[in-house]
Amino acid sequence: MGRPPWAAVAFCILIIMLAGSSCAPTEPYINLAEAGVTYAQAMDKLLDACIDISVNATSERMLQNKLLATPTLADYNAQTQVDRDRIIILRRLQSHARLMGEYFQALNDLAASKAPSQIADSIGSIVDPLNALGQELRGSDLLKNKGAVATGTQLVVGSIIRGRLRRELEQRKDTIDGELQLQAELLKALAGAMDADLKQISEIQEQRLVIKPLIDSRAISNPDQWVAARHRFLTTPQVSQELNGASEAVSRLRLAFEESVAGSLNRDRVKGLLADFGSILEFAESLKR
Amino acid sequence: MSLGELLSSLRNLQTQLFSVSVQNLFENQDAETRKRFVAFRQEVSLLVGKLTNAELDHIAHELDLLSSDLKAGIQNLDQSLNELQSALSILNFLGNVLGLVSRVAILV
């Protein structure tokens, strides 16, 4: 709890003083924050998948090498060290993705806060005793229109929240811009690494699990597994295409942030982004399966 | 040539070195040739792995530099939310006090 109680008291006075003025809804901010949260979740899962794919690709390459020449312990250690280093870096990136998710979640919590209606209810509950007091002291209500006071309060609190959101985004605009630029760069880097590894895994495994058993003169020991394996290789996701698409979506998120700071956020763009990041999340989950 | 372009070329080379046709070709070579080929292939894999790590590590480092400001943003947003909750508590308290005062005023 950072600020002293007088900040909240001043806030209450401000609400009561301003009741009656109007404001715009916080919905675009909610959508923007939701897009950010969904993106952070997708990135988290994508980095998990990247660890698996990277380690499995090295294992497949080790097995291919062994078919030609017996490896030494030094060979194994050198390849494994690269994997270990990769895992450390990807976990760091994952922990940053989670922090970014927390930021968007905090933005969403404030934008979607129920405080305007709760405070309006509280103001409404103050009006009755105030009017009872007014009747007792001077024979008339102190606040004539209870409904208008409650509605005005709700609008004012919404306006205050919106102002704080805008100030926060103004304050953080360079950081968010830098963050999203780096995220777009990261997606391209991951696309390059994962695409190459997945293609290699797919080709090697298809040879070992599908082609060799099929052209062998002996019967396939487990036909159902063979069918499932062949299906998996033929339907391997197009990582490069998906992740480059994700990188473009992140660039659009940057644009949406610029618009939100300038107060001209395009609702349709933000809704489109929500759908885009939802698809990326689905794709990242499909890589984990 | 940028790091990205170099990585892309090396990855293509690695994919070709591990392709089924190349693997089949070297399976029929003598032990010494196979050993030399595997050593070369491993070097390429290590290089691709280390360069990929360097590229990702650079991005991770740049992102880490932004972490403290993101944390400050989270704190700022949480504080705004807490103030709203405090205002709500004060208004509820005020409502209770006024309720009591008006009842006392009626009695007096």
Token pair recorded at residue A119: 């405070």
Count the Cβ atoms, other than its own, within 10 Å of residue A21.
Answer: 10
Radius of gyration of chain B (CA): 34
Per-residue confidence band for A112, with pLDDT thresholds at 50, 70 and 90: confident
Contact list in B for residue A172 (CB cut-off 8 A) is 69-70, 73
Q: What is the CA radius of gyration of chain A?
A: 28
Structural domain count of chain B: 1
Give the model's pLDDT for residue A240. Answer: 78
Residue A21, φ and ψ in degrees, nearest 5: -80, 170
pLDDT in tens, A142-175: 666 666 666 666 677 777 788 888 888 889 989 9
- Contact yes or no for A189/B59 (Cβ under 8 A): yes
Task: Look up the domain containing B81 and give its range.
Answer: 3-107
With beta carbons under 8 A apart, name residues in chain A contacting B60.
89, 92-93, 96
Residue with tokens 């919905």: A27
From B73, B85, B95, residue closest to A172, measured CB to CB: B73
Instruction: Encode pLDDT of A276-287 as tens digits.
Output: 888 888 888 887
Q: How far is it, in rounded angstroms, from Cα B6 to Cα B51?
A: 9
Mutate to test the interface with B, among A61, A166, A247 (most CBs of B within 10 A): A61
Q: In sequence order, what DSSP letters do the residues of B50-68 get, joined into one string? A: HHHHHHHHHHHHHHHHHHH
Q: Residue A173, exposed/middle/buried by CB under 10 A (0-12, 13-18, 19+)? A: middle
Taking the CA of residue B1 and the nearest CA in chain A, the distance in Å comes to: 16
Interchain CB distance below 8 Å, B26 and A68: yes
CB A154 within 8 A of CB A242: no
- Rounded to a whole number of angstroms, the distance from the CA of A234 to the nearest CA of chain B is 17
Q: How far is B31 from chain A (nearest CA, A)?
A: 7
Between chains, do A122 and B91 touch, taking CB under 8 Å as contact? yes
pLDDT, one tens digit per residue, over A10-65 is: 555 555 555 444 445 677 788 888 989 999 998 999 999 999 999 999 999 999 99
* ipTM reported for the complex, 2 dp: 0.84
Structure tokens at A200: 């290699």
| Cα end-to-end span (Å), chain A | 43
A138 CA: distance to closest CA in chain B (Å): 12
pTM: 0.81
**Which residues of A are less than 8 Å from B62 in CB distance?**
178, 182
List of chain A residues whose C-beta atoms are within 8 Å of the C-beta of residue B45: 58, 61, 79
Residues in a beta bridge with A19: A21
Q: Where are the domains of chain A?
A: 8-288
